[in-house]
Structure 1
Amino acid sequence: MLSQEQREFAGEVKALAADWLVPIPHTPGHVNRDLVKAMAELGLLARLFPGVETGKPSRDAAALDLCLLREALATQNTEAETALALQGLGSYPVLQSGSDTQVGKWLPAVAAGDAIAAFALTEPEAGSDAAALQLKAEPDGDGWRLTGEKIWISNAPEADFYTVFARTAEAGSRGVTAFVVPGDRPGLSGEHLDMVSPHPIGRLTFDGVAVRRDELLGEENRGFHVAMRTLDLFRPSVGAFAVGMAQAALDAAIEHAGTRHAFGGPLKNQQTVSHTLAEMATRTEAARLLVYSAAQAYDSGETKIASRSAMAKLFATETAQYVVDAAVQLHGARALQRGHLLEQLYREVRAPRIYEGASEIQRTIIARELFRS
């Protein structure tokens, strides 16, 4: 399925991450700007926006390249993977729907590691039902004033700009508008939230935050389309992140089973262990193929991509949960020690089954598509 060039690219990313990113100190709960800057200097952030170095980034995001990048990073350093993914998630709405001025202002800064991006959709009463959001955008001269709250926003409250989705009309999903809001705008404040996984996540409060007409992202009342277009692209890549974590856990389990002795021989000689490893490997490979297939469908321009993206995210994230848990079980108590690779993966692997559409929402999307002609 992959070309030689793509395989070499994935190998290069793994090597760069192992040599240059893993040694950078971890900063749980906060944006690691040193890590982001290092990824920029290695050229990894520019991979999110091909052509950005020449000032003409392509507006057509490549889903498979994004998946390969996220999977490769996840096998080596989940903090780096998450930092890169959040830069993409917050910036791709600008890439896909922004004006030339907006693209020129923000994307080179993101690619250079000088600006932290964030995607601000979820609210206290609008999680899985994103169309129910209530952040108000009230007309004010030639712009708007934003009033309300966002929660569970990655990179908040430290981002330099936010892609914000607000209600401009009482018409469900057709009354949502997207804006690009600088993080230092008066009236915008926030706080960190202490989470199980060590990602930077927070709450944002908008107290009459002014946004100008030139900060409108796309068309007025078409912001829900902007959000869903980004999520359709990113769902397979969330699956790729999960595949990377599953592969890291599988590799650790294989090494452990080959070197750990019990009952007169290595663990791999125990049928229960070998069968567990076989199941872990099979599910990981199946998840990888689903992810790559969905990404290729997106890149080839298939119109009915929602179901395939949902299948990829659903199966890959559920698989990663199984594989990481099985690896912990094979390792025993040592995998529960703070700082162990599997202890870290065990905390990391739970969140992807929730964010960017929980597993239950993915099943709803898949089932709905089954009955469409």
Structure 2
Amino acid sequence: MADKSYLGWPFFEERHRALAAELEIWAKKYASHHDESEDVDAVCRGFVARLGAAGFLGLTVPKDGGGKYDRLDVRSLALAREILAYHHGLADFSFVMQGLGSGPISLFGTPEQKKRWLPGVAEGTRIAALAMSEPDAGSDVGAVSTVAVPDGQGYRLNGVKTWISNGGIADQYTVVARLGDAPGAKGLAIFVVEAGTPGFRVAERIDVIAPHPLGKLEFRDCLIPAGNLIGQPGEGFKIAMSNLDVFRSTVGAAALGFARRALDEALKRVHERKVFDQKLADYQLTQAKIADMATEIDASALLIYRAAWTKDQGAARVTREASMAKMYATEAAQRVIDAAVQLWGGLGVTRGVMVESLYREVRALRIYEGTTEVNKLVIAGQTYAAYAAEQKGQV
């Protein structure tokens, strides 16, 4: 019964409302089954294949790479994530990783690179991954130590990546590495590494509280063709941040989907459960919780779709807006889901109950693609910069 009135907001066009309706039908048919005993790799491969066959993965790449629109439409990406997350966390995960994993190619690839690596992503026949994080480089991308050294016709790659989504099932990885002697963020570049390349291996799989395909990658004298460099040497940080500019607000959208499902589950529970001869829904303390949950959901949606709309209107960067959306929506979703668990009582912490699954699913969203703390620093930095510019009469 998730609220759909927000689709009437001026952020959306008719094509977005049509997408939401179509995807809702698909999700009810293919993403309503939850069984964590199933092979997580097989589940994700299945979602990618079905999403590709249905045409939804065309949203994750631009038209010149086999996608639906000339450029990535952030509102469509966010809507898709919200709806998929409402029904199944791995459906959302499988969808977004196609876009995030191939985003550097979509945004900065040559026509030849797009034709080579993107159509399979859109069709669901190739699985994409993004390899940025390292044991000592998470939020601080400038601390990346994986090294690429020119070697004849290409580059020799050495290093370790960890916490890599789709690690072990991806067909292609976009890898952030250090190229040249420039310090920090100035010395980075991005390469495409295909699964099976000699010198590249998935060293281990990582088990987390909400099962997802995660892995640790190793590169040992991994020879990459020169044509696998995306953009120019030294542009790696810019490319990575541009990719996050598109996808960071959609993390908030996934959290929003989880939160909407939690509210619906809570409403169902409080209207069914009796405590001291009256419905739990009739208590003022329950009503206060429901009011807080509903308000946080609407506030999250406004921030998310403001950021997405702003980017779709042609803004070069939406760093501040995307960081606000991601930070607030993920933190709010954690609070909403915690409240839902509380309203479910003992059943709320029972394995297999939806709110228990949501409780585990939402936790990672406050960490990846910029922790809450890092996003606060980004927002403050952007706010300070705007203030300084105003003081100088530049605004």
TM-score (norm 2): 0.91
Pair 1:347 & 2:360 matched: yes
C-alpha change, 1:100 and 1:25, in structure 2 (3 Å) is farther
Look up the match of 1:87: 98
Look up the match of 2:144: 133
Look up the match of 2:243: 230
1:371 to 384, 387, 390: 384
Pair 1:247 & 2:260 matched: yes
User: CA shift at 1:51, angstroms?
Assistant: 3.2
User: CA shift at 1:103, angstroms?
Assistant: 0.9
1:145 to 135, 156, 166: 156
C-alpha change, 1:5 and 1:144, in structure 2 (3 Å) is closer
Equivalents in 2 of 1:56, 1:46: separation in Å?
4
Q: What letter is aligned with 1:8?
A: A
Pair 1:330 & 2:331 matched: no
User: CA shift at 1:335, angstroms?
Assistant: 1.6
Equivalents in 1 of 2:213, 2:354: separation in Å?
20
SS in 2 for 1:371: helix
User: CA shift at 1:142, angstroms?
Assistant: 2.3
C-alpha change, 1:25 and 1:94, in structure 2 (3 Å) is farther
Q: How many residues are treated as equivalent by the alignment?
A: 372
User: CA shift at 1:36, angstroms?
Assistant: 1.4
SS in 2 for 1:30: helix
Q: What CA deviation, in whole Å up to 9, does each residue of 1:202-234 have, x standing for no partner?
A: 100000100111101111111111110000111
Q: What CA deviation, in whole Å up to 9, does each residue of 1:67-116 have, x standing for no partner?
A: 11111111111110111111111011111111112211221111111111
Q: Kindly report which structure 2 residues correspond to 1:57-136, keeping only aligned pairs within 5 A, or say none.
A: 58=69, 60-136=71-147
User: CA shift at 1:297, angstroms?
Assistant: 0.9
C-alpha change, 1:35 and 1:304, in structure 2 (3 Å) is closer
Q: Kindly report which structure 2 residues correspond to 1:242-281, keeping only aligned pairs within 5 A, or say none.
A: 242-281=255-294
Contact 1:74 1:244 in 2 (8 A): yes
Unmatched 5+ residue regions in structure 2? 1-9, 390-395
Equivalents in 2 of 1:78, 1:52: separation in Å?
29
SS in 2 for 1:177: strand
Contact 1:163 1:181 in 2 (8 A): yes
Contact 1:29 1:195 in 2 (8 A): no
1:43 to 12, 33, 55: 55
Q: What letter is aligned with 1:353?
A: R
Unmatched 5+ residue regions in structure 1? none
Contact 2:40 2:211 in 1 (8 A): yes
SS in 1 for 2:118: helix
Q: What letter is aligned with 2:284?
A: Q
Pick which of 33-42 and 87-96 moved more: 33-42
Contact 1:21 1:39 in 2 (8 A): no
C-alpha change, 1:349 and 1:298, in structure 2 (3 Å) is same
Equivalents in 2 of 1:129, 1:70: separation in Å?
26
2:196 to 154, 169, 184: 184
Contact 2:64 2:111 in 1 (8 A): no
Equivalents in 1 of 2:135, 2:31: separation in Å?
35
Pick which of 253-262 and 348-357 moved more: 253-262
CA RMSD of the aligned region, Å?
1.6
Equivalents in 1 of 2:348, 2:380: separation in Å?
37
Look up the match of 2:370: 357
User: CA shift at 1:58, angstroms?
Assistant: 4.6
User: CA shift at 1:57, angstroms?
Assistant: 6.2
Q: Kindly report which structure 2 residues correspond to 1:304-315, keeping only aligned pairs within 5 A, or say none.
A: 304-315=317-328
User: CA shift at 1:303, angstroms?
Assistant: 3.7
Q: What letter is aligned with 2:233?
A: E
Contact 2:249 2:323 in 1 (8 A): yes
Contact 1:118 1:154 in 2 (8 A): yes
Percent identity at matched positions?
40
C-alpha change, 1:58 and 1:220, in structure 2 (3 Å) is farther
Equivalents in 2 of 1:15, 1:337: separation in Å?
29
Equivalents in 1 of 2:380, 2:122: separation in Å?
38
Equivalents in 1 of 2:188, 2:292: separation in Å?
44
Contact 1:268 1:274 in 2 (8 A): yes
Look up the match of 1:156: 167
Q: What CA deviation, in whole Å up to 9, does each residue of 1:119-159 have, x standing for no partner?
A: 00000111111111000101101211000100000000221
User: CA shift at 1:5, angstroms?
Assistant: 3.6
Q: What letter is aligned with 1:16?
A: W
Equivalents in 2 of 1:306, 1:363: separation in Å?
11
Pick which of 265-274 and 24-33 moved more: 24-33
Contact 2:63 2:70 in 1 (8 A): no
User: CA shift at 1:272, angstroms?
Assistant: 0.2
